[in-house]
Amino acid sequence: MTRKEALLTATVSSLMTLGALTMSSIASAQDAEMEKCYGVVKAGKNDCAGPGHTCQGQAKTDGSPQEFVMVPAGTCERLVNGSTTAKAE
């Protein structure tokens, strides 16, 4: 490998690493601005696992107090029946 090829390879690798780190920090910032909101989910529209299932989109009833959807921080408490903590059904 010539010196020029080695330099080009190192440059491309560095740019790819920088891009991956940037995407990672953007995702972390977005997650920090979101919160789980229980009790407002429509059937089949939940964001993650809940009682009796392990995947998103499997909520069986509307407004289940144990199913959540991610919403911007500070929004949940303004929604009817919205809560940032799960409650027993």
Tens digit of pLDDT for each residue in 58-79? 788 888 888 888 999 999 999 9
Q: How far apart are CA 39 and CA 36, in angstroms?
A: 10
Domain count across the chain: 2
Please check whether residues 12 and 41 belong to one and the same domain. no
- Give the model's pLDDT for residue 75: 92
**Residue (of 17, 18, 20, 70) closest to 40 by Cα position:** 70
Which residue range forms the structural domain that includes residue 54?
Answer: 33-89
As a whole number, mean pLDDT of residues 5-21 equals 69
DSSP state for residue 76 in the 8-state scheme? G
DSSP state for residue 37 in the 8-state scheme? E
Q: What is the pLDDT of residues 15-71, one digit of tens each?
A: 666 566 566 555 554 556 999 999 888 888 777 766 666 677 778 888 888 888 899
Please check whether residues 57 and 76 belong to one and the same domain. yes
Going by pLDDT thresholds of 50, 70 and 90, the confidence category of residue 12 is low
